Chains A and B, each alone.
Chain A
């Protein structure tokens, strides 16, 4: 059994009217990529900020590297952590390499700046001013500032939000490489495919609570043999109340999602129902469920709602 380097027990954070974090528990094992998946406002960032020592909490227990932590994380533990915030800015007018050198000086056992530059593929931007970097390059630099201290655990808050697909790919590859090096990565995301692609272990969070957990495969197989029928209609705003004949449906504009355990029966039933009401069907897809459907299945909402 691998050692757990972060343990959270019944963590609570309440604001006057909201339970931002409502009694969540999890363990992060050494060397794994751990994802906290949930829609915006689920409490992911609050959880992460508590773990980073930026926020205090109202109940529960946090053990970081075996030490109980509350509020500000002591320096000797911060030495072992790298952090990529949701919003990454740097001191103006400095170059990429100057920023990395500054961050390395903050750690006792930093690694060679050139090595980091190579890892984040910014060697050609080493002497570029930070304000001249693109969004993806800035994000890579932010990851670089987290790596230059040679941390064991890296926190990443929505590391690919706002990036274009290519830049997102690059970040994913970097996280993959970190896993290969045996680093532990704790990330939050609201991209189902990101969690599915990167994470060894996923906790699904909604309204401050953990509503499901497991690897992507485990979560998806929780559907059993269920399949997804996606029906695209020609027009919106139709009276679709007849769909209540199915157990699990979701309507989004002109798209209907039906979760089914007996595909032929339900498929025929659906088509009959549309035909009876002479509703034109544009397209029908049958597919395996994904994490998005897991979330839909659990909450009745889509992740990005």
Chain B
């Protein structure tokens, strides 16, 4: 035990003082989490657009032909309650239009809707015209001002279009005629079905990635670099046994992983991620560590040199990182990629951890989230134990 601790301490101190170990194992996952969180922070978040509505209509006011007020009501409805999609300000003054356009230009709001003065008359005329089959009056237009090159403005426009479309349908139902005021759009912006955001999704993914990186690079380094430098040989002619080195190596990597996990969880919380950290989550994190450590051992077992090992480690790490659904759901990717994804263990580890942390229900059954990584680990351990050479 004293010997295991001595080697453990030496390996840990060496790692802490190694700039590359600290960068790849602590800074890299932190930076990646920050980058992904900032790029995709809007995905799945409850979106809200700021829309100003200017109702300039003057005709048929306070009658049942005040179509403009129906439209205002529809938007008002969308701005209230739990599922509000827009925040709405509306007014009827000309002054308000100018104010709104200024606000739009400075990016304070996302869209301005203007109902023209003769809107109600025009609708009435259009309905009559449609029924009579003649074509004298121009169709009524609702002006929608959006900001050029603004994604949120475009999305706001889409929402507005869909409201107007449903308004078209309503007229159709009421008058038995078809009329279009704005061309109907088929896009709908709807709230994400599942109650989690991208940051919730990404935190467990980053955890699996971080743990796997340490497991792969930490173990291959401890085995291959030290073997190549004859450090292992030097230790084994001293009264140290291979098993003792092995456990010291496992423990030192485990220690780094625990520190890394704590840092990432704190950062995740800071970025607003929601997750549970019950006994199940902690056990599953340990399970992820235990089942990824053999990957490093496996790579080391068929690498003759540390350079070869490093290249292989990079390949495995890359493959398991990007095809394992750690950062994005794998449902949208090509079939070939999906097949690979359903073979490699990280897909299951990410699903399992998301489920264990209460972020989302796992797309794969939980028994597979245990079984697949476990089988990988067992096969790798058996293979490595047979093939790995402690001395060269």
Contacts and interface: CB of A to CB of B under 8 A. Distances in A.
Interface of A: 52-54, 73, 75, 78-79, 81, 83, 85, 87-94, 98-99, 101-103, 105-108, 145, 149
Nearest to B15: A93
B7 interface: yes
B3 A87 contact: no
A133 to B, nearest CB: 14
Contact of A79 (B5, B7, B226, B239): B239
Interface stretch (B147-155, B227-235, B311-319): B227-235
Interface of B: 2-3, 5-7, 9-11, 13-14, 17-18, 226, 229-231, 233-241, 391
B231 A78 contact: no
A83 B239 CA distance: 11
Contact of B10 (A85, A88, A98, A145): A98
Contacts of A81: 237
Given A102-B7, A105-B3, A149-B238, A89 B13 contact: no
B20 to A, nearest CB: 10
5 contacts: A53-B237, A54-B233, A88-B234, A90-B234, A98-B13
B230 A89 contact: yes
Contacts of B237: 52-54, 73, 78, 81, 83, 85
A72 to B, nearest CB: 8
A171 to B, nearest CB: 17
Most buried by B among A78, A105, A107: A105
Nearest to A103: B238
A145 B14 contact: no
A297 B200 CA distance: 81
B223 to A, nearest CB: 13
Nearest to B237: A83
Most buried by B among A91, A102, A105, A107: A91
B390 to A, nearest CB: 10
Contact of B239 (A89, A92, A99, A107): A107
Nearest to A148: B238
Given A54-B237, A102-B7, A102-B9, 19 more contacts: A54-B233, A85-B230, A85-B233, A85-B234, A87-B230, A89-B230, A90-B234, A91-B226, A91-B231, A92-B18, A93-B18, A98-B10, A102-B6, A105-B2, A106-B6, A106-B235, A106-B238, A106-B239, A149-B239
A93 B9 CA distance: 12
